[in-house]
Amino acid sequence: MTTQDGSAGPGPVAGSQLRFDYIPRPGLLAITLTNLFFNLVTLTLYRFWAKTNVRRHIWSCVHINGEALEYTGRGKELFIGALIVFGVLLLPIVLLLMALQIWLGPEHPAVFIVQFGFFFIIFGLWGMAVYRARRYQLSRTLWRGIRGALVGSAWSYTGLHAGATLLAPMTLGWSTPAMNFNLQERMIGDMRFGSMPFQFSGTAGPLYGRYAIAWCLAVVIFLSVLITGGALIYAAFGNEFWAILSGLATTDSPARSNAYEDQVQSFLLIVFGMFGVVLLAWLAQSLIWPIYLAREMAVFASYTTFDRAHFRLDATAGSLFLLTLGNVLLWIFTIGIASPFIQQRTIKYMCDRLTVVGEVDLAAILQSPAPVPRSGEGLADAFDVGGI
């Protein structure tokens, strides 16, 4: 613990070292169960308050120099944010679509154009959702009574994000490291703690070696899953497969024979088999990408500076792999109920491996002058953007 001299005035001041610790408190299980109960009885309308309870708990476990963070967000603010997005974005679009369908019939080109526009808006505003959610969270995160802030333009981030999303499939994913770098540069550059800015500088180059490894592995796994899946289906059903499919499509006579029942059974087997193969592929993918993500996290941390200190995140492929595996298993075996614990594991991982090298002049950090948003995360809720 550093002790500061309260009489520090202007002039050269000795900086402080910063250190992150995750110190668990009791109570997360009680929060999880309470949230589960109220989410069930309110058809998940309680999710805004549930999220807030979890954040307040996890934030209070994160300590910087022995002083815990504080989350000051309210469930009510998230609820109002969601209501606003529903009222000004979703409801008008749905009503417009409905009116067009009634006027012009469901097959009219105008209906398709509006539907396409609807999905385009969701796609285009995704970055907006991410940025505004981050702004809300930072404004509700306090350390030593000082707020965080995000001071840039949500629109320019939104444009960048949309560009990144467009480029990724066009480049078979190879634009991802560069675009992630750009997005992170924008986000970190806009971040403040109190009056003090974060800085981000570097290049995307060091990301590409690991990206190539992960990309090749992902392609290999994808192809082998495809081939094994196909071979399994062929071994089980041989040429009957297509016969079964076409048989299903044409059987609509009221006399439903035993043969039809058999076909349905075989079809279900195929469906379950494919489901299993897809699940395996998904598992494999979520375990391959940590190879790259660990590198990205570490590199991004090393590019980030705050006052006279820079960050170091000791993220390794192996440890991130284990974290992800644990999280995935926890999610599967509790059908998502344990997600507060998954969030806790993730935050703890970051705290345990994050070090701050250099010194920060705490006396120079004044309360944030940035306006505090009154409600938050409506878009993020509507689009179901991930995160805590």
Residues that bind another protein (CB under 8 A): 2-4, 6-8, 25-27, 42-45, 47, 60, 67-68, 70, 82-83, 86, 90-91, 93-94, 97-98, 101-103, 105-106, 115, 118, 122, 142-146, 193-194, 362-367, 381-384
Least separation, in Å, of the C-beta of 170 and another protein?
24
Q: Do 75 and 52 contact (CB within 8 A), yes or no?
A: yes
- Number of other residues whose CB lies within 10 A of the CB of residue 301: 20
Least separation, in Å, of the C-beta of 103 and another protein?
6
In the complex with another protein, the residue whose CB is nearer, 57 or 353, is 57
Least separation, in Å, of the C-beta of 313 and another protein?
22
Q: Do 229 and 277 contact (CB within 8 A), yes or no?
A: yes
Alpha helix segments (H runs only) across 3-108: 28-41, 47-61, 75-85, 91-104
The angle formed by the CA atoms of residues 292, 295 and 297, to the nearest 5 degrees, is 110
| CB contact burial 266-286 (16+ within 10 A = b; e otherwise) | bbeebeeeeeebeeebeebee
In the complex with another protein, the residue whose CB is nearer, 105 or 387, is 105
E-only strand ranges, 119-254: 141-143, 146-150, 191-193, 196-200
Least separation, in Å, of the C-beta of 281 and another protein?
25
Residues in the chain: 388
- Number of other residues whose CB lies within 10 A of the CB of residue 291: 20
In the complex with another protein, the residue whose CB is nearer, 133 or 214, is 133
Least separation, in Å, of the C-beta of 13 and another protein?
10
Residue 217's closest CA among 317, 332, 323, 325? 317
In the complex with another protein, the residue whose CB is nearer, 91 or 259, is 91
In the complex with another protein, the residue whose CB is nearer, 274 or 366, is 366
**Which amino acid would we find at residue 211?**
Y
Query: Tokens for 52?
Result: 């807030």
Q: Which residues lie below 8 Å from residue 59, measured CB to CB, with a gap of 6+?
A: 68, 69, 70, 71, 141
Least separation, in Å, of the C-beta of 294 and another protein?
31
Name the phi and psi angles at 362, rounded to 5: -65, -30
In the complex with another protein, the residue whose CB is nearer, 111 or 325, is 111
In the complex with another protein, the residue whose CB is nearer, 70 or 206, is 70
In the complex with another protein, the residue whose CB is nearer, 12 or 238, is 12
Query: Tokens for 303?
Result: 């590019």
Least separation, in Å, of the C-beta of 351 and another protein?
17
Least separation, in Å, of the C-beta of 275 and another protein?
22
